[in-house]
Amino acid sequence: MNKVIDFFKSASPIKIILITFLIGFVSMFLEKPFPNGFLALRLISFMLVVYAIIKFFSKK
């Protein structure tokens, strides 16, 4: 778990945004068979986008 947290702390905002697009793309395929998984992935994607935006503006 610490490796994941360290990755997001050291990753650039652009890399985090690309990861969120990938998560969002994968979640589209889970919408019908697994609606709870779809919502969880969308929530994670949204939280990562907010984190990336905050990280981007706090650097400047």
pTM of the entire structure?
0.84
Q: How far apart are the C-alpha atoms of 35 and 19, rounded to whole Å?
A: 21
| Residue 18 predicted with pLDDT over 70 | yes
Look over the chain and give the mean of its residue pLDDT values, rounded to a whole number.
91
Q: Which pLDDT belongs to residue 5?
A: 87
Q: Which pLDDT belongs to residue 25?
A: 92
User: Mean of the pLDDT values across residues 12-39?
Assistant: 92
At residue 38, what is the residue type? F
Q: Which pLDDT belongs to residue 60?
A: 64
40 CB-near residues (< 8 Å, 6+ apart): none
Ranges of each domain in the chain? 11-59
